[in-house]
Chain A
């Protein structure tokens, strides 16, 4: 985003400038600078949750928006994600200690026959950044793995991902199995992946199709809020 700040000394910036610079650095995928910025803010007494939400999630939101608008492409998003992951690895243990708010719990994985996990890893990171606890069960998951993980993790949300048109129909197998077992309504089911669309999501009985990681976060928040509201109303 900016090339003129090569000689910047992050520790000399005030908080506002530093957050803005970190958002720039995140956009540029500068992992070391993000880690340094996180440590500086923590050293200044910032709560870990605030460090996570302002420069990191704030920065990734811009990255996500520019990806959606065709300004950034996959490699740049992955570099930004790598930088954010570096920052989060510092913050995660601190967030656990300080009891940061948890919005909800999600299990996410790529469907059976599919090994492409870039999308779901981005979703995992963005969901964690937004305050969700996420259990990422990795690639090539049969229905049993999804259901076991959901039960063990006491999940609110099940996320399924697929990159291939040949593997995406497996999402319906999982949802149909949930229906057979009478547990479909226990979970919010979100699906995503390059070849999917809203029509497919509806056809297989998912609650929503999420176009990208940012949409996944907003959709998850929306469904969790509705779930809480219906409990209050009930």
Chain B
């Protein structure tokens, strides 16, 4: 069911809600496939989903207003709204906005942390020279990294951006050999050591499960 959604759409446009279910999840487009997979696997038909463009992550200062606006726009149509973002570079601003709006969001600094699990991620907080990719970011690497950083036009800038990184950690939500190969290729292209770290859906699954259970 998720295969018909193009990654480029999730990056640039997001995803519209279906208008069904008492609960609306307002999520980052980068999480759409994972949320839909969890919803289907668990039969959470009462959870509707709308996604904001994932590319907002390249401008975290725009996330808060986009989420705020989406909550206000949908508030009257659903009994409950949850925000499927972590802090995501907003410096606590998203948390403050969600508290004011009376909606809950996902705990943690970013999706890398909640996919791996906050505790597990905190265990290697000193891993400061790791560049992380998720399944979605691996598929959309060119849209999030290559083109915005001008590496397609100026490959000589690679070391200016990545010279201080040592390794690329692919936080894999699914077991997909093709994606693994792609992530390996990116690591090689960036001159970084490659590590694949299978995470599954991590804390995202637990958070969604709790939200789904509260509303049954």
Distance between Cα atoms of A74 and B128 in the complex (Å): 22
Minimum CB–CB distance from B86 to chain A (whole Å) comes to 11
B202 interface residue (CB < 8 Å to A): no
Q: Are B154 and A74 in contact (CB under 8 A)?
A: no
Q: Which of chain B's residues 153-168 have a Cβ closer than 8 Å to chain A?
A: 153-154, 157, 160-161, 164-165
Most A CB contacts (10 A, CB to CB) among B60, B125, B129, B150 go to B150
By a CB distance below 8 angstroms, the chain B residues around A74 are 149-150
A118 interface residue (CB < 8 Å to B): yes
Q: Are B91 and A165 in contact (CB under 8 A)?
A: yes
A75 interface residue (CB < 8 Å to B): yes
Minimum CB–CB distance from B64 to chain A (whole Å) comes to 12
Number of A-B contacts (CB under 8 A): 44
Tell me the nearest residue of chain A to B109, going by C-beta. Answer: A166
B34 interface residue (CB < 8 Å to A): no
B200 interface residue (CB < 8 Å to A): no
B21 interface residue (CB < 8 Å to A): no
By a CB distance below 8 angstroms, the chain A residues around B91 are 165, 168, 195, 200
Minimum CB–CB distance from A191 to chain B (whole Å) comes to 13
Pick from A75, A168, A195: contact of B153, CB under 8 Å: A75
Distance between Cα atoms of A73 and B150 in the complex (Å): 9
Q: Are B89 and A75 in contact (CB under 8 A)?
A: no
B19 interface residue (CB < 8 Å to A): no
Pick from A115, A117, A195, A200: contact of B60, CB under 8 Å: A195
B116 interface residue (CB < 8 Å to A): no
By a CB distance below 8 angstroms, the chain B residues around A166 are 109
By a CB distance below 8 angstroms, the chain B residues around A140 are 128
Distance between Cα atoms of A97 and B149 in the complex (Å): 38
By a CB distance below 8 angstroms, the chain A residues around B165 are 115
Distance between Cα atoms of A82 and B156 in the complex (Å): 11
B87 interface residue (CB < 8 Å to A): yes
Q: Mark B124-151, 1 if CB is under 8 A from A, else 0.
A: 0110110000000000000000000111
Pick from A78, A82, A117, A165: contact of B89, CB under 8 Å: A165
B92 interface residue (CB < 8 Å to A): yes
A103 interface residue (CB < 8 Å to B): no
Q: Which of chain B's residues 64-107 have a Cβ closer than 8 Å to chain A?
A: 87, 89-92
Minimum CB–CB distance from B13 to chain A (whole Å) comes to 22
By a CB distance below 8 angstroms, the chain A residues around B87 are 165
Distance between Cα atoms of A113 and B124 in the complex (Å): 12
A139 interface residue (CB < 8 Å to B): yes
Q: Which residues of B does A touch, CB under 8 Å?
A: 60, 87, 89-92, 109, 125-126, 128-129, 149-151, 153-154, 157, 160-161, 164-165
Q: Which residues of A does B touch, CB under 8 Å?
A: 73-76, 78-79, 82, 113-118, 139-140, 164-166, 168, 195, 200
A75-B149, A75-B154 known; 17 new pairs, CB 8 Å cut-off, are A75-B150, A75-B151, A78-B150, A79-B154, A79-B157, A82-B160, A113-B125, A113-B128, A115-B164, A115-B165, A117-B164, A140-B128, A165-B87, A165-B90, A165-B91, A168-B91, A195-B89
Q: Shortest 8 CB-CB distances between A and B: which pairs?
A: A75-B150, A115-B164, A165-B91, A195-B91, A113-B128, A166-B109, A78-B160, A165-B89
User: Could you list 11 examples of A-B contacts with CB < 8 Å?
Assistant: A78-B150, A78-B157, A79-B154, A79-B157, A113-B126, A114-B128, A115-B129, A115-B165, A165-B60, A165-B89, A195-B91
